[in-house]
């Protein structure tokens, strides 16, 4: 194990600007075309924003909330908050007004920066839940009011500031910020209960991205395309801060719908994503008849891709095998918000299908007697905001209890399930539903699955069919259906799924067999509250929303 050099984010950023000032650094869409900024230009913009924050009254330790979609100003504001020595509370832009208002109040925010009218209107409607002394500013012009006060456009404030004012703040931040200082609070969406504010320090984040950089071969001209929400720690550390640490170019994708077109335009070398994305790319190539075409997968990503990395949820082995067979390296990493986030990852030269790689440099991992994954090192969070009891429960003797179950073989970490998601059947069998769900979704007719059976005699599953593949199967078999509802209820369609489920689960124990299932007319989404923002199932919410369907499968 090697000791990591410890830096703060302002130190890391200033080092990068000094080394690569005139090099092109950040690419972003404006009016449908990619524009670019150099490191020097980013530095100037961030300094002006830092001066504006100081003018708004931000002092060291003050919480600044950002409610914004991915855009280049997101990154500029993050850097500016560090220069002003504030604490960045990045909230998911897809949350509702009351959810964001709760986080604003919970963290005691001084300033809230919204991207524009959409976010502003949500908060205006939830203003009663926000303390009246909070100040609001917006990137884009918005004529609305919150608490009877107009929301000022932030460019109006920066126009009254000078770069020199920001440079003085930056110089002070570099000199006085310590590695242990709090840099951000990130509220975990979690699978149960209200969100917890994860407190991360400069040491947490810089040590993590430096260790990740060691795991990958980064060249000065590498381009990485970033599309995951920067409000999530995966993209923030493994795309954004890794780019600051290693150099090269970062291209921001405006939306999920534009990922593949942007790959064609940018031709990235690196691409991080959640497993669902890589699964969808594979399914699309199959649907187009291009799955076996030489070079088709690499061409989909622009032709220059060196490696893709999946994180946030379990990557199905068959997707990993498809990428491997198609000549594109797809590795899986593992971590959580509380670990900044990376604990382990596969690398280009050292990865194994079915595992999440080896622990990164400086990170210790061990498996507890009950199978839980524990980790220790500079990546472990400071704690939960204003929740000392939860912090003490999660971090014991320096070891972070992840809540995940796993095993280590030949140094590779394998995730076997989620501790708090274990199903204990009426017969006393312990079953990891994520494992069963992973097997089911390997079938091209099944896009999502949720398995239940706690305290029951047998397992049941809610199945979300892949609409395109199901339609093709119905046409091929000439099944007489006229509407999607007819298809889901048709005995022959259900017989097909029964056979597919039986085939997928042929190698698991009797207790792990799904005895009954229900085909659903819609999928699980973050918007419905049934998925977290990293697309993990919120099992309790799914169970509540589909209680009638589940009860029917148990003849209740």
**Could you report the per-residue pLDDT of 217-231, keeping only the tens digit for each?**
778 889 999 999 999
pTM of structure: 0.84
d(CA 61, CA 203): 16
Q: Which two tokens stand for residue 416?
A: 């076997």
CB 171 within 8 A of CB 18: no
Q: Where are the alpha helices (DSSP H) in 108-190?
A: 117-125, 154-158, 163-176
The third-level CATH classification (topology) of the domain covering 422-553 is GMP Synthetase; Chain A, domain 3 (3.30.300)
Q: Could you tell me which CATH number the domain at 205-370+397-419 has?
A: 3.40.50.12780
The third-level CATH classification (topology) of the domain covering 38-177 is Rossmann fold (3.40.50)
pLDDT < 50: residue spans in the chain: 1-4, 190-192
Q: What percent of the chain shows pLDDT beyond 90?
A: 84
d(CA 50, CA 83): 6
d(CA 519, CA 463): 5
Q: What DSSP letter does each residue of 369-438 carry, written as one string? A: TTSEEEEESTTS-SEETT-HHHHHHHEETTEEEEEEEEEEETTEEEEEEEGGG-EE-TT--EE-HHHHHH
Whole-number pLDDT of residue 6: 64
User: How many angstroms from the chain centroid is the CA of residue 22?
Assistant: 31
Whole-number pLDDT of residue 125: 96
Same fold, 38-177 and 422-553: no
Q: For residue 185, what are the β-bridge partners?
A: 89, 199
* Cα–Cα nearest to 198, from 335, 356, 57, 334: 335
* Cα–Cα nearest to 133, from 159, 152, 116, 109: 109
Where along the chain do its domains lie?
Answer: 38-177, 205-370+397-419, 422-553
Whole-number pLDDT of residue 189: 56
- DSSP summary character for residue 338: G
Whole-number pLDDT of residue 175: 97
Whole-number pLDDT of residue 190: 45
d(CA 321, CA 312): 19
Q: Which two tokens stand for residue 418?
A: 């989620």
């Amino acid at each position: 194990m090697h000791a990591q050099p410890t830096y703060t984010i302002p130190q890391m950023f200033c080092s990068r600007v000094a080394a690569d000032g005139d090099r092109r650094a950040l690419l972003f869409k404006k009016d449908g075309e990619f524009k670019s900024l150099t490191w020097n230009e980013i530095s100037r913009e961030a300094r002006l924003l830092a001066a504006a924050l100081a003018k708004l009254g931000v002092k060291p330790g003050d919480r600044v909330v950002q409610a914004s979609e991915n855009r280049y100003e997101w990154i500029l504001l993050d850097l500016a908050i560090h220069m002003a020595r504030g604490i960045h509370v990045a909230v998911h832009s897809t949350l509702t007004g009351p959810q964001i208002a709760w986080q604003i109040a919970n963290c005691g925010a001084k300033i809230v920066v919204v991207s524009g009218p959409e976010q502003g209107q949500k908060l205006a409607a939830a203003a009663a839940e926000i303390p009246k002394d909070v100040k609001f500013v917006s990137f884009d012009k918005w004529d609305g009011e919150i608490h009877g006060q107009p929301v000022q456009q932030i460019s109006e404030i920066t126009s009254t500031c000078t770069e020199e004012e920001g440079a003085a703040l930056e110089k002070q931040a570099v000199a006085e910020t310590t590695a242990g200082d709090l840099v951000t609070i990130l509220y975990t969406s979690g699978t149960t209960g209200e969100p917890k504010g994860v407190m991360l320090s400069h040491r947490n984040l810089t040590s993590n991205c430096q260790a990740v950089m060691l795991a990958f071969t980064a060249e000065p001209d590498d381009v990485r395309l970033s599309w995951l929400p920067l409000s999530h720690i995966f993209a923030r550390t493994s795309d954004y801060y890794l780019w600051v640490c290693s150099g090269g170019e970062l291209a921001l994708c405006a939306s999920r719908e534009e990922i593949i077109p942007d790959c064609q335009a940018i031709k990235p070398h690196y691409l991080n994503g959640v497993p669902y994305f890589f699964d969808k790319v594979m399914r699309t190539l199959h649907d187009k008849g291009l799955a076996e075409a030489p070079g088709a997968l690499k061409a989909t990503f622009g032709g220059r891709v060196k490696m893709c990395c999946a994180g946030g949820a379990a990557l199905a082995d068959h997707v990993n095998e498809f990428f491997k067979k198609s000549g594109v390296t797809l590795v899986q990493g593992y971590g959580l918000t509380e670990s900044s986030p990376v604990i382990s990852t596969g690398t280009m030269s050292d990865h194994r299908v079915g595992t999440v790689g080896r622990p990164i440099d400086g990170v210790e991992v061990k498996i507890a007697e009950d199978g839980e994954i524990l980790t220790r090192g500079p990546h472990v969070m400071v704690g939960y905001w204003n929740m000392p009891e939860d912090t003490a429960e999660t971090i014991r003797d320096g070891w972070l209890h992840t809540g995940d179950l796993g095993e280590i073989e030949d140094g590779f970490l394998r995730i076997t399930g989620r501790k708090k998601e274990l199903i204990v059947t009426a017969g006393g069998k312990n079953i990891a539903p994520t494992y069963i769900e992973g097997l089911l979704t390997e079938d091209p007719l099944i896009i999502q699955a949720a398995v239940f059976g706690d305290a029951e005699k047998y397992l049941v599953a809610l199945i979300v069919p892949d609409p395109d593949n199901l339609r093709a199967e119905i046409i091929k078999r000439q099944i007489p259906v006229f509407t999607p509802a007819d298809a889901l209820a048709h005995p022959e369609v259900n017989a097909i799924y029964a056979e597919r489920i039986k085939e997928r689960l042929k190698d698991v124990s009797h207790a792990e067999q799904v005895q009954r299932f229900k085909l659903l007319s819609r999928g699980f989404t973050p918007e419905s509250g049934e998925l977290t923002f990293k697309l993990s199932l919120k099992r309790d919410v799914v169970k509540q929303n589909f209680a009638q369907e589940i009860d029917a499968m148990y003849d209740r």
